[in-house]
Structure 1
Amino acid sequence: MINNLMRVAMLSLAMTLVGCAAPQAEVDYSAFRESKPASILVLPPLNDSVDVAATSAVLSQATMPLAESGYYVLPVAVMEETFRQNGLVTPTDIHDVPAPKLREIFGADSALYMTVKEYGAQYVVLASTVTVSIEADLVDLRTGTKLWSGQKLVSYAGGSGGGILGMLIQAVVDQVINTLSDRGYQVAGMTNQALLSAGQPGGILYGPRSPHYETQ
Structure 2
Amino acid sequence: MSALNKLRNFVMEYELEIQVAGPLVAVICRMFSNTHAKETLNALMPFLVDKVLEILGDGDDVIKAEAVDHQLLYPLLLLKSLSLVHCDVMMIHVDSFSKVVDRVIKMKNREAQTLGTKIMANCAQSLGSASIYACDVDYENKNHCYVRDWGVSGKIYDTKLLSEMPGEREFEALKGIFHRYFDYALRIINGFIEKGDSSLK
The answer to which structure has the higher helix fraction is 2
TM-score of the aligned structures, taking structure 1 as reference length: 0.21
Which structure is higher in RCO with an 8 Å CA cutoff and minimum separation 6? 1
